[in-house]
Amino acid sequence: MVLIRKASLHFGVRYSYNLLPEKLPAVNPPAYFAVHSRFAPGSRIIVEGSILRWRRRFRKDREFSVRDIAGVALGPGNGCNVLYGRDYQILAKFAGSMEHADLMFLWLLQKEVPIVYAPDIWHSPAEASPEPEPVRSSALQQQFILRLKRSARIGFTGIGWFLLLIGVALFLERV
C-alpha cells in the first residue's frame, strides 16, 4: 500500500478541505489540545502529552503513542493527512482545515515525526532564527468564531427540513 504522493502540494489544490497552513504558530503547543472539525461533529484527535487518541463517531477509539508514528503523509486538497505506523497502517487521519491542525503539525515537528513533502517554511519555534519580526500596527486583529450548541444546530436543521418540505409541497401543488 502506497500512502505517499508528491502531487498533493505542487498542483495548486490549495482551496479545499485539506487547506494546509502557510506557516506554523510561533508559540509551542500546549500539553493538551484537540484537533477537530470547525463546522461538523465527528472525528477528532486528542493530544495529551505524548499520547494521541483518535475519536471517531460510531467507531471504537484508537489510542497510540508518538513512538508508534512512523510519519505523516500530506494528502491532496480534497483528502486527509494520514498519520501512519511502522508497517504503514493508518493510525489517524485529519484535515488541514480542522481547528488546531496547525498546532498538530507543529507538535509533530517538535516530536521529530517526519512529514512527507512538508513545506520548507514550516519550522518549530525552537528552530526559528533570532531575527526580530517586523513591528505590527498597534491595533491587534481579533478573530471571532461563532460556535452553536448542539441543540441550536438541531433546531436550525429542523427548521431547514420544515422549510424544504413546505417548498416541495407548494411545488407539487402547482404541478
Pairing of strands 115-116, 71-73: parallel
Average pLDDT over residues 39-53: 84
Instruction: Please state which CATH class domain 7-124 belongs to.
Output: mainly beta
Per-domain residue ranges of the chain: 7-124, 146-175
68 conformational bin, left if phi > 0, alpha if psi -120 to 50, beta if neither: alpha
* pTM of the full structure: 0.61
Q: Residues 78-102: pLDDT tens digits?
A: 778 888 998 889 898 888 888 888 8
Q: Residues 8-21: pLDDT tens digits?
A: 444 444 456 777 88
pLDDT beyond 90 at 4: no
